[in-house]
Amino acid sequence: MRIAILGGGLTGLCAAHRLLGEHEVTVFEKKPFFGGLAASFEHEGFKLPLYYHHVIESNTTTLKYFKNFGLLDEPKWKRVKMGIAVNSKVYDFIDPASLLKFDYLSPSERLRYGLFGAYALYWMNPDAIPEGVNAYDWLVSKAGRGVTEKIFVPLYAENKFGIPLKQISARQFATRLKSAEFKTRFVYPKKGFHSLVKGFEKRIKKRGGGLVTRADVKLDLVKKVIKNKGKKQGFDVVINTAPLPEFLGFTKGLPKAYAEKLGRIRYCSAVCVGFGTKDFLDEHYWINILKQRVHMVMQHSLLHDSYPFKFNWALRYGGSEKDLGLSDAQIKSVYLRVVKKHFPKMEVEWSKVFRERYASPIYDLNYLRNKPGYETPVESLFQAGVAVTYPWVRDCNSALKSGERVAEIVQ
């Protein structure tokens, strides 16, 4: 079969890798590089991830591909510290002793917060939460109104999706909590995610697959033709891994009801400043910031200290669409000022801005109703990627698993 894959992130590359050999496969990517959110940029001769990435022990699919491509040295697994920053203070997110000092919460709220943490770790079953239950009401019943308003409204509603917590699925939120990343060990493979992307590219080329960057495709599902910059190419099957708003914009021939269903799925953006500092900011790898323009700081070099500088990210998700039109200089000024507020001794040596208009679907209460499946009403069309993996945690491992799954279905 002639198979066209739209989107050259990890899902699209993985699907192409699995399908080649028996089929004629071409991957179309609109950017000048492959990898999607797992892509990298170069600074002073070093390849650095555009956005934060790591591997945890349960990411067996990711580890499998690093190993298959000969990219996995003996992993140096680490336990990491996670912090929560509020009112210009940084508290340890998971240390019970630190919870006693968490004066952002009242003594009774600290107790409720600790008890909820134990419940989430040991007794909570996300699959038992009915679809349609909103995260706000569920959290108030489990953690109390004070903890919900002070912690989870800014942490997950404002920071994550930029919508009220009452509009977010409790089941997906609980699934995210249950992953308990802070309990596991982390690693950033020595050869990096850029090597994983290159590994897929080399295998695809070696097997005769097509790789097209800077693509500007128009898809006609009725005629089974893809037009890219004036050149037409027929297909038997098309696999879409691109964000659904983009897919709807370049596709003709979708059934009206299906197109309307996909159109109801909203996305949040991401704006990120990658920056180098002279020293570590503190001992926390992952720092969630409440009630600020920046929502998260990640210290990559605490996992992978292989550069002549300490590499970090300052990231905004919810509401970041408001920053997409700002200049790089404006974003750097605003975002790094927030980081400096929490780490006044920080010395920034360089910085670079990255933007992603459609970083993730918003998993609201209606998401399951509108969520696409791998198979669609159009026999030749399949969907894959983060839009179909709900309620899984959105990460590189889920992206690769989705690529494998859609390849199995197409086969």
Supply the Cα-derived Rg of the chain in whole angstroms: 22
Query: Per-residue confidence at 100, pLDDT binned at 50, 70, 90?
Result: confident
The two beta strands, 286-289 and 348-361, are: unpaired
Is 340 or 121 the better-scoring residue by pLDDT?
Answer: 340
Q: Mean pLDDT, to the nearest integer, of 135-161?
A: 92
Task: Check residue 180 and give its pLDDT.
Answer: 62
pLDDT greater than 90 at residue 394: no
Please give the Cα distance from 272 to 232 (Å, whole number). Answer: 36
The two beta strands, 89-92 and 82-86, are: antiparallel
Task: Check residue 393 and give its pLDDT.
Answer: 80
pLDDT greater than 70 at residue 96: no
Please give the Cα distance from 227 to 230 (Å, whole number). Answer: 6
pLDDT (tens digit, 9 = 90+) per residue, 362-382?
Answer: 989 989 899 999 999 999 999
Task: Check residue 99 and give its pLDDT.
Answer: 72
Could you give the domains of the chain? 2-38+193-265+363-410 (3.50.50.60), 96-179 (1.10.3110.10), 267-361 (3.90.660.10)
pLDDT (tens digit, 9 = 90+) per residue, 168-218?
Answer: 989 888 887 876 666 789 999 999 999 999 999 999 999 999 999 999 999
Task: Check residue 9 and give its pLDDT.
Answer: 97
Taken in order 280, 331, 294, 395, is the CA torsion positive or negative?
Answer: negative
The two beta strands, 24-28 and 46-49, are: unpaired
Task: Check residue 182 and give its pLDDT.
Answer: 65
> Is the backbone peptide bond immediately before 391 cis, with ω within 30 degrees of 0?
yes
SS3 assignment, position 94: coil
- Residue at token pair 């009725």: 222
Please give the Cα distance from 295 to 370 (Å, whole number). Answer: 28
What percent of the chain lies above the pLDDT cut of 70? 99
Task: Check residue 217 and give its pLDDT.
Answer: 96
Please give the Cα distance from 55 to 65 (Å, whole number). Answer: 12
The residues pairing with 267 across neighbouring beta strands, listed in sequence order, are: 361
How many CB atoms neighbour CB 112 within 10 A?
A: 18
The two beta strands, 237-240 and 381-383, are: parallel
The residues pairing with 48 across neighbouring beta strands, listed in sequence order, are: 41
Dihedral angle over CA of 10, 14, 15, 18, nearest 10: 180
CA 326, 331, 335 angle in degrees (round to 5)?
Answer: 145
pLDDT (tens digit, 9 = 90+) per residue, 308-351?
Answer: 999 999 999 999 999 999 999 999 999 999 999 999 999 999 99
Task: Check residue 73 and give its pLDDT.
Answer: 82
| Distance from chain centroid for Cα 108 | 34
Task: Check residue 411 and give its pLDDT.
Answer: 93
Average pLDDT, the chain: 93
Task: Check residue 344 and give its pLDDT.
Answer: 94
Closest CA to 46 of 386, 302, 305, 269: 305
- Residue at token pair 């993730």: 360
pLDDT greater than 80 at residue 93: no
Task: Check residue 45 and give its pLDDT.
Answer: 93
Task: Check residue 278 and give its pLDDT.
Answer: 96
pLDDT (tens digit, 9 = 90+) per residue, 62-89?
Answer: 999 999 999 888 888 999 999 999 988 8
Lowest mean pLDDT across 132-136, 333-337, 383-387: 132-136
Task: Check residue 74 and give its pLDDT.
Answer: 80
| H/E stretch holding 248 | helix 244-250
